[in-house]
Structure 1
Amino acid sequence: MHFVYINHNVLDNLFYIIVSILMFFVLYDNVSQLKKYKKILLTACMSLPIILCMKFPIYIDQYCVHDLRQIPLFIGTLFGGWPTGAALLILLLISRFAIYGFNLLTLIVYVVIFIATALFSTKFNRLNKKKKLFSSALITLFLEIITTYMAVMISEFFKVTEAYVFYFILVPPLVVFFAVYLLELLMDTIHVRSKMVKLEKMEVVSQLAASISHEVRNPLTVVKGFIELLKDANLSQDKKEEYIEHVVRELNNAESIISDYLAFAKPSTEKVEMIIVEREIKNIIEILKPWANMNSVKIKDQLAPGSVLGNANYFRQCFLNIMKNGVEAMPNGGELEITTFLNKKELTIKVSDTGMGMTKEQINRFGEPYYSSKEKGTGLGSMVAVKTIHMMKGKLEIESVPNEGTTITVIFPIYMTEKVLAKETPISLKTKVLRS
């Protein structure tokens, strides 16, 4: 039996079919606009192997020259229904007649295949995965036998050889079985990933809700208590003012928590401007210095001139949170160093402390909702920082050794080169001279 070896033309035909299926899923999964036109995409992807199979047919012997064009027709019609099947049938017939000339037998055979598959496709798409696999293979085998019988009855030149039985009656059902399995597997992967994204979003929402509820309730409880105390008619004026200060402080705390939440949930990009990094970092350092001195933390800076594009308010809040975390990581004092440098395309900001450091788990969970290494922390500051960096198309890197310190590196695409900033250099120098 000379046909037992694997014919390389068969492998070529199978390659066209499998690559087209994979191409369909790559486009469907990665180009969101194409999800609305699934049947059109399926038609386009199944058209390609139909033409290639006919253009490069399977030569077995002088009486047996065929191809596997019917398999893309099966697959397209089963998954896309009669509209996809009709489009593929028309393309198949036009291509067949253009390449080899008109043939009545070809027309009858493929019309029968299309009608039978289209009628079955509605029921097919309601079946579970296991039934789809076996039913698609059975209907393919049935149609191959029927169309072979029709060909023998209509054409006296048509001969059924052992090679024909193997390659065009037994192989197609196996190929369709594998193709349906591949399609179902890839579709399941897309659905599972979509569900995972939804579950992650729901988890973030629930964690944020729990965090905000817990953190806002604390200051409001304090406010409620002081308001009750203020009702005392015998309360002295000094006490009233003291209680009112406590109320205002706690309300400010609640407002700060809500502002951080809103910044994380929807960081605004309405006002995008050029941010002069050196100036902004120095302003943040001046704000933090009194608090750092109280905690015996020395702040050092080495800042290079450079600019990035983004929202200045969120940029300040981002690095205020990062530097504040650095100071808080050194309860017994230490050194906080801020360094900036740039190259032709990127501006890098490094914030290093000599504090408690972070474990690998803490690094991996940095910026995660409702996660903080601090006892009374909410994690909102880190979330705002991470969200802002991503919004400004930046990259965040963390290096840390427990009990030695942490270095947070943020890399932004540069907006203005030093040459453009050179115009501002005289002013900067003058400012430095006045300070000295």
Structure 2
Amino acid sequence: MGFVYINHHVLDNLFYILVGLFAYFILIDHSKRLKRYKRTLITACMSVPIILCMRFSIYIDEYCVHDLRQIPLFIGTLYGGWPVGAVLLVITLIGRFYLYGFNFLTLIVYLVIFVATALFANQFNGFKRKGKVLGSSLLAFVVGVLTTLIAVSFSDFFQVTEAYLFYFVLMPPFVMFTFVYLAEIMQDAISIKPKMVKLEKMEVVSQLAASISHEVRNPLTVVKGFIDLLKDPNLSQDKRDEYIEHINREVQSAESIISDYLAFAKPATEQKDPIFVDREISSILQMIKPWANMKSVRISDELSPGVIYGNTQHFKQCFLNLIKNGIEAMPEGGELRVITSTSKNHITIKIEDSGVGMTKEQLTRFGEPYYSSKEKGTGLGSMVVVRTIQTMNGTLDINSVLHKGTTITVKLPEMAIRRPLS
């Protein structure tokens, strides 16, 4: 019998209710300000399906209008309490009498629905998901049976047809089961989201602490050993100078690790200024070329003018890391090319090397906390790169082939600004 009565009118009614339910949770999830007005929001989101269900009813016979308007009334009252239910009841009755005329029996039936649902709402909010789903289904069934008995008792003309039993008694419990289950899933997702973000932050902090502790302890252990050696009164001046040089190198190593950590952990809400990309990249290349020459790496560039908006210091650190990585990827020497271009309101910066390349795992894990393809790397440099590009609303793409080289492409939104005269 059920499949006979499932037609496009029924599906339309279900669609109206589903959209209203989704609209409520989407608005709650995306606006902290709207969370303060949950009752007003659920009233609005449930009143629209009520009107639409009545306006586009399943069908109308001589004694009854068949639609699913009671479902939004149930949901609004259960999740919003009796004040929301009272407003929805008034909207339901006004809409019903405006569209189809006044009917005393309809008034009685919906008053009973409201009172029963409002009384159950207090217990409903104390249930877990399973209790809410089963309880709301049972409520819909009990109310359906009760209102049917009232209708039969109060009206000599009222007829309990198969369609009436299906739409008012049998179908609502299944609909309530489905929609309350969906509502609980969405509500749990919204409530869990801040907790997950907090847990992720705590995980990052714990991993950072562990990594920094490990990486800084290594050079400090070396420093401690050389300091103990320096206590030897018979130590020659040459050896003393050699040990001091070792100490200085390890202290600089620890300082570099801490600087990378601070660049990654520093909040992104700092002052931002126009950055002339070609000038800054050129400055970085001039600074690093002597070191590249020592590594037998030839650097070439094709720099086009362009301006972005961001933190200049972080921009320099980001691309210094990328260029430095490219040079280190060519231990036997090679060529590094840096190309910038402008198109469609974006500035593209490409860094190409002819080095050892990267595996699929290395590509996937680039920027992951504490993962590095270098033997003594901490992974903080790549984390700084990823964070900086994200802060500037840019994108990072890496294309690499083992033993052939790597191409890193960074796209950043261009800023409309007049370039100052040189």
Residues 30-56 of structure 1, C-alpha deviations (whole Å, 9 max, x = no match) = 334334443332222111111112222
Partner of 1:87: 87
Partner of 1:75: 75
Deviation at 1:121, TM superposition (A): 2.0
- Matched position secondary structure for 2:393: coil
Would you say the 8 A contact 1:306–1:416 is kept in 2?
A: no
Which segment is superposed worse, 346-355 or 120-129?
120-129
**What are the ranges of 5 or more consecutive residues in structure 2 without an aligned counterpart?**
none
Q: How does 1:29-108 map to 2 (within 5 A)?
A: 29-108=29-108
Would you say the 8 A contact 2:67–2:167 is kept in 1?
A: no
Pairing 1:160–2:160 present: yes
Partner of 1:371: 371
Deviation at 1:105, TM superposition (A): 3.1
Partner of 1:125: 125
Instruction: Give the CA RMSD over aligned residues.
Output: 2.5
Q: Taking structure 1 as reference, are residues 143 and 132 closer, same or farther at Cα in structure 2, changes over 3 Å only?
A: same
Partner of 2:324: 324
What is the rounded CA distance, in whole Å, between the counterparts of 2:268 and 2:124 in structure 1?
Answer: 48
Partner of 1:431: none
Would you say the 8 A contact 1:292–1:298 is kept in 2?
A: yes
Partner of 1:334: 334
Deviation at 1:360, TM superposition (A): 1.6
Residues 307-353 of structure 1, C-alpha deviations (whole Å, 9 max, x = no match) = 21111111111011001101111111111111111125111111111
Would you say the 8 A contact 1:60–1:163 is kept in 2?
A: no
TM-score by length of 1: 0.88
Number of equivalenced pairs: 422
Letter in 1 for 2:122: T
Would you say the 8 A contact 1:267–1:387 is kept in 2?
A: no
Would you say the 8 A contact 1:9–1:56 is kept in 2?
A: yes
Partner of 2:356: 356
Deviation at 1:9, TM superposition (A): 3.2
Would you say the 8 A contact 2:5–2:163 is kept in 1?
A: no
- Matched position secondary structure for 1:336: strand
What is the rounded CA distance, in whole Å, between the counterparts of 1:75 and 1:5 in structure 2?
Answer: 23
Residues 343-368 of structure 1, C-alpha deviations (whole Å, 9 max, x = no match) = 25111111111111011221111111
- Matched position secondary structure for 1:222: helix
Partner of 2:413: 413
Which segment is superposed worse, 176-185 or 255-264?
176-185
Letter in 2 for 1:366: F
Q: How does 1:374-413 map to 2 (within 5 A)?
A: 374-413=374-413
Residues 249-269 of structure 1, C-alpha deviations (whole Å, 9 max, x = no match) = 322322221121121122444
Q: Taking structure 1 as reference, are residues 99 and 232 closer, same or farther at Cα in structure 2, changes over 3 Å only?
A: same
Partner of 2:149: 149
Q: Taking structure 1 as reference, are residues 270 and 134 closer, same or farther at Cα in structure 2, changes over 3 Å only?
A: closer
Partner of 1:230: 230
Would you say the 8 A contact 2:220–2:250 is kept in 1?
A: yes
Which segment is superposed worse, 271-280 or 23-32?
23-32
Q: Taking structure 1 as reference, are residues 272 and 11 closer, same or farther at Cα in structure 2, changes over 3 Å only?
A: closer
What is the rounded CA distance, in whole Å, between the counterparts of 2:396 and 2:280 in structure 1?
Answer: 19
Partner of 1:15: 15
**What are the ranges of 5 or more consecutive residues in structure 1 without an aligned counterpart?**
428-436
Partner of 2:249: 249
Partner of 2:187: 187
Q: Taking structure 1 as reference, are residues 106 and 215 closer, same or farther at Cα in structure 2, changes over 3 Å only?
A: same
What is the rounded CA distance, in whole Å, between the counterparts of 1:3 and 1:273 in structure 2?
Answer: 65
Deviation at 1:393, TM superposition (A): 1.3
Residues 274-323 of structure 1, C-alpha deviations (whole Å, 9 max, x = no match) = 11212211221122112111111111111112221111111111011001
What is the rounded CA distance, in whole Å, between the counterparts of 2:40 and 2:360 in structure 1?
Answer: 48
Letter in 2 for 1:215: E
Partner of 1:313: 313
Deviation at 1:142, TM superposition (A): 0.9
- Matched position secondary structure for 1:315: helix
Residues 163-200 of structure 1, C-alpha deviations (whole Å, 9 max, x = no match) = 21222222222211221222233334445655554443
- Matched position secondary structure for 1:372: coil
Would you say the 8 A contact 1:27–1:34 is kept in 2?
A: yes
Which segment is superposed worse, 314-323 or 17-26?
17-26
